[in-house]
Structure 1
């Protein structure tokens, strides 16, 4: 069953045509990855889905509902969590305060505490840093915090933008292990990732985007074996 659908979406930055008739689908329970070179439109796709950038043409459906013109906070409340490129945690807030900000619409304190404990189950290191300010932590710890914050509202879909960027290989492995664990527990994930090999290794399906257009789509394993993909993105 399709949870998220983009149909012929066109997005512009001023006069720049960033997405040119983009159509993708993410089914319930899948990990779907969007790969492509820098500037291909990967981050723009996520921003358009969550309303930070408006689609000028086309339609975006989430759980059967047209969200194309909805506001960002309304989209978030429907169950779409966006973990942006560059982490963008609140550097002057503690780990606990960052997590609480992720549950901005939750009024039940017990549910907030449950969310924090769930985050610590996935990311035990954050529990050790609970009172530490986010800006003083390592890049890997900040990425863990950004993902944990995204999980605080128990979203229906988690959109991750370049979660491995700038991380040491051992931390990259940890992040992708967590992505796999989240999916095994039922989380639907749309993954934008510079590390195409890692992304296709954990995904069910993938799309290749080039200058705002989908040029290839297939099962992840098939894309991994595709000579064109290997030469362009896996070399």
Structure 2
């Protein structure tokens, strides 16, 4: 049974239609990835789900509840965490303060401490840099902080937008290892990623977006073997 159901959504930026009838679903426990070229509509799909972009028509349901055009803070409280492209950490705040921002709705100190320890289990470097300002960290460390901040919400669906962007290959490998581990530990993940091979290698299923439309979908390994996909995105 899908935890997320996106049905025929159309999203515009002013007069420009970014999404043209996008329909995807994500089942609990899956990694589902969206691949496509720059400007295809991948990030807009995530923004439409989280409420950062307004959907003109169509519907989005999370755990059977209609969340179409709900404000981002409401979708977050329902269990959808969105790690945006470019990380968007608070540069002038410390690592600890950034993490605490992710637990904005949690009142009990012991629960906040438990979630922080959980983040440290995946990203030990954050514990070492607890009092360091986020803006002084490397790109890879900032990406770890952005994901760690999202984990503080204890989400049921984690949406990651281009987590490997601008990172060195060795750090990309580490990030994908952690994404895979999160999934093995029970996290449902919707992943947008330019590195199509890396994404499809860990994904249960994938969707290919071109010009705001889904043009192909299938199991991750089937898409890797698809000749058109190999030529367009894996060459």
Q: Quote the Cα distance in structure 2 between the aligned partners of 1:70 and 1:192.
A: 21
Corresponding residue SS for 1:167: coil
Q: Quote the Cα distance in structure 1 between the aligned partners of 2:23 and 2:202.
A: 22
Question: In the alignment, which residue of structure 2 is the partner of 1:204?
Answer: 204
Check if 1:112 corresponds to 2:116.
no
Structure 1 position 69, deviation (Å): 2.7
Structure 1 position 46, deviation (Å): 0.4
Question: In the alignment, which residue of structure 2 is the partner of 1:18?
Answer: 18
Summarize deviations over 1:91-140 as a string: whole Å, max 9, x none: 01000000000001000111111111111110011111010000000000
Corresponding residue SS for 1:130: coil
Check if 1:149 corresponds to 2:149.
yes
The 4+ residue runs of structure 1 with deviation greater than 3 A are: none
Summarize deviations over 1:30-55 as a string: whole Å, max 9, x none: 00000000000000000000011111
Question: In the alignment, which residue of structure 2 is the partner of 1:139?
Answer: 139
Aligned length: 235
Check if 1:100 corresponds to 2:64.
no
Corresponding residue SS for 1:222: helix
Structure 1 position 72, deviation (Å): 1.2
TM-score of the pair, normalised by structure 1: 0.99
Output aligned runs, 1:83-98, within 5 Å: 83-98=83-98
Q: Quote the Cα distance in structure 2 between the aligned partners of 1:37 and 1:190.
A: 17
Corresponding residue SS for 1:115: helix
Q: Quote the Cα distance in structure 1 between the aligned partners of 2:63 and 2:156.
A: 9
| Aligned CA-pair RMSD | 0.5
Structure 1 position 192, deviation (Å): 0.1
Question: In the alignment, which residue of structure 2 is the partner of 1:231?
Answer: 231
Corresponding residue SS for 1:21: strand
Check whether the contact 2:48–2:69 (CA below 8 A) recurs between aligned residues: no
TM-score of the pair, normalised by structure 2: 0.99
Q: Quote the Cα distance in structure 2 between the aligned partners of 1:97 and 1:182.
A: 23
Gaps of 5+ in 2: none
Corresponding residue SS for 2:9: strand
Output aligned runs, 1:50-199, within 5 Å: 50-199=50-199
Check whether the contact 2:28–2:188 (CA below 8 A) recurs between aligned residues: yes
Q: Quote the Cα distance in structure 2 between the aligned partners of 1:108 and 1:200.
A: 39
